[in-house]
Amino acid sequence: MVGFIGRNNTHLSIHSRFADNGKEDFFLHYMLQKVAKINLFNLQHTMDEDSVFDFLLYLFPLYLKNAISQGVYRQYITHKYNDANVRGVIDVSRHIKYNEPFNGAVAYTTREYSYDNHITQLIRHTIEFISKNGGDDILNIDEDTKQAVAQIIGATPSYLSNELQSIINKNLTPIAHPYYNEYAPLQRLCLQILRHEELKYGQEEDEVYGVLIDAAWLWEEYLATILEGKYNHYLKDTGKRFYLFKPKKQQIIPDYLSLDKKIVADAKYIPLNEKIWFKEDSASATAVYYKTITYMYRFCSKEGYLFYPHPDEDVSPIKDEIITEIEGENGGSITKLGLRIPSNCSDFNEFTSRINEEETIFNNQL
């Protein structure tokens, strides 16, 4: 786990093992930027409530795009009209109040399936809040985010800035929709941003807050961004199913498969450069190998890869041509391939430049 967490006035920062002597964890920030499209301009942070709140703003594009991928949220809205184009249920008491003596208008009420509702209004208020607080870079981080923001703005023509508290009150009940399920976490995030809440829990006198991330998951998702075009990452492909046994039993999800399904690859965040992981007959080596070998057998593959982060100061090769050959008629081999993580960088720009070079080397080794 990596991230930061605090309890009352006690603060704890959990770095990746690639942070330089407890300094800025450029590698962690870089992976977050690649995976979550978080645009990190200022990496200097303190472990207080404000830094956690700032992190919420950076999460907004990811949650917004996940929700918009299901379409703009729609629901039935009750509208009250008073005109001559009657198309709903006549509201007698309101009609008498406003249209006596008769002036040609009729008061009536309709229920319309509308994009302009309390959920989209909440998102619109969050967009306006981020924009007014210097977050235009967050809202314009990529084309998908810009399009999503434009869709929400276009869907909320009745937006009024002075109705913020009313919109918040209408969203205090969490939505539970069988289709628009990605809007529930977005709704919670918007409320936290607009109410300047932190990621925290506990009683007021004993608050715990922070952000913790599974580093192994983040490493796997980051690799998927640099392997795109060579390997498919099936964790994201919810429409694709593979099974180990017939008929369709024991579903499996390989980390990566080459486009022709001839090579199986697995992401490992553990330090495979350390020989302790590859002592013959060790339990740790067995655990590392078994899943990859199983998937190689399933896909009739003779080649397997283990991808891992390689420390810059370690002079051992980032690629072991064949770290183990498989006994038996099926044969095959597993190759260990590391991505070298730069160290001793003066700033984030230098780290980005150097790791981009390492990504090219990594791809060329495949």
Residues 314 and 293 both lie in one domain = yes
pLDDT in tens, 269-326: 988 877 655 565 666 667 778 888 888 888 888 899 999 999 887 777 787 766 667 7
Q: Which domain holds residue 320?
A: 216-365
> Is residue 308 helix, strand or coil?
strand
Pairing of strands 231-232, 106-114: unpaired
Residues 272 and 127 both lie in one domain = no
CB 246 within 8 A of CB 285: no
Separation of alpha carbons 154 and 147, rounded Å: 10
Domain count, the chain: 3
> Is residue 155 helix, strand or coil?
helix
pLDDT in tens, 348-359: 889 999 999 999
Residues 55 and 163 both lie in one domain = yes
CB 1 within 8 A of CB 14: yes
Residues 148 and 87 both lie in one domain = no
Comparing CA positions, the residue from 70, 225, 61 lying closest to residue 145 is 61
* Residue that terminates a domain, selected from 114, 135, 167: 114
Residues 244 and 312 both lie in one domain = yes
Helices (H), 175-327: 183-194, 215-227, 283-298
Residues 136 and 176 both lie in one domain = yes
pTM equals 0.64
Residues 246 and 269 both lie in one domain = yes
Using a pLDDT cut of 90, give the percent of the chain over it: 27
Residues 23 and 132 both lie in one domain = yes
